[in-house]
């Protein structure tokens, strides 16, 4: 029998073997859209507002997870320095504890006297003036009735 002359001219339209997902534009688009969506959800889901400054920041670990991580690392440090940690009745430990007590007491007394700050008190009056140099912006923001 003779070989089929048309068999040598076979053209394959589909590639043989495995196809990479990165060669398919729809698959790449889907991965990019899904990845961006997940990133946005994670970012906005982990924003916290600082109470004093009213600024927001991104926090990846929850407070409980951060506490567990800190406590486990503290335990590791204590184990590593077991022989170098002084007992609580040692004179140096007592001295450090008394100094820390004085510092904490002074901080607590200072915080009791601290007044509540407003944003206007941080700003210099020169920064609140308009371009023409008038004090209208400053007066309006401070709520003054008479000049």
Q: What does the H/E/C string look like for the chain?
A: CCCCCCHHHCCCCCCCCCCCHHHCHHHHHHHHHHHHHHHHHHHHHCEEECCCCCCEEECCCCHHHHHHHHHHHHHHHHHHCCCCCCCCCCHHHHHHHHHHHHHHHHHHHHHHHCCCCCHHHHCCHHHHCCCCCCCHHHHHHHCCCCC
| 44-99 per-position pLDDT tens digit | 998 989 888 889 999 988 889 999 999 999 999 999 998 899 999 999 999 999 99
The lowest-confidence range among 23-27, 43-47, 53-57, 112-116 is 112-116
Q: If pLDDT is split at 50, 70 and 90, which confidence band does 130 have?
A: very low
Instruction: Provide the residue ranges of all domains of the chain, joining segments of one domain with +.
Output: 22-60, 116-147
**pTM for the whole structure:** 0.42
């Amino acid at each position: 029998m003779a070989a089929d002359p048309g068999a040598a001219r076979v053209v394959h339209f589909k590639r043989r073997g495995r196809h990479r997902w990165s060669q398919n534009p729809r698959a790449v688009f889907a991965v990019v859209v899904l990845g961006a969506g997940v990133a946005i959800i994670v970012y906005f889901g982990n924003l916290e507002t600082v109470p004093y400054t009213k600024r927001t920041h991104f926090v990846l670990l929850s407070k409980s997870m951060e506490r567990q991580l800190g406590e486990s690392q503290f335990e590791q440090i204590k184990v590593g320095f077991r022989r170098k940690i002084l007992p609580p009745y040692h004179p140096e430990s007592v001295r450090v504890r008394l100094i820390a007590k004085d510092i904490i007491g002074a901080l607590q007394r200072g915080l009791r006297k601290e007044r509540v700050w407003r944003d206007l008190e941080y700003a210099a009056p020169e920064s609140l003036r308009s371009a023409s140099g008038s004090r209208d912006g400053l007066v309006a923001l401070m709520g003054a009735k008479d000049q």
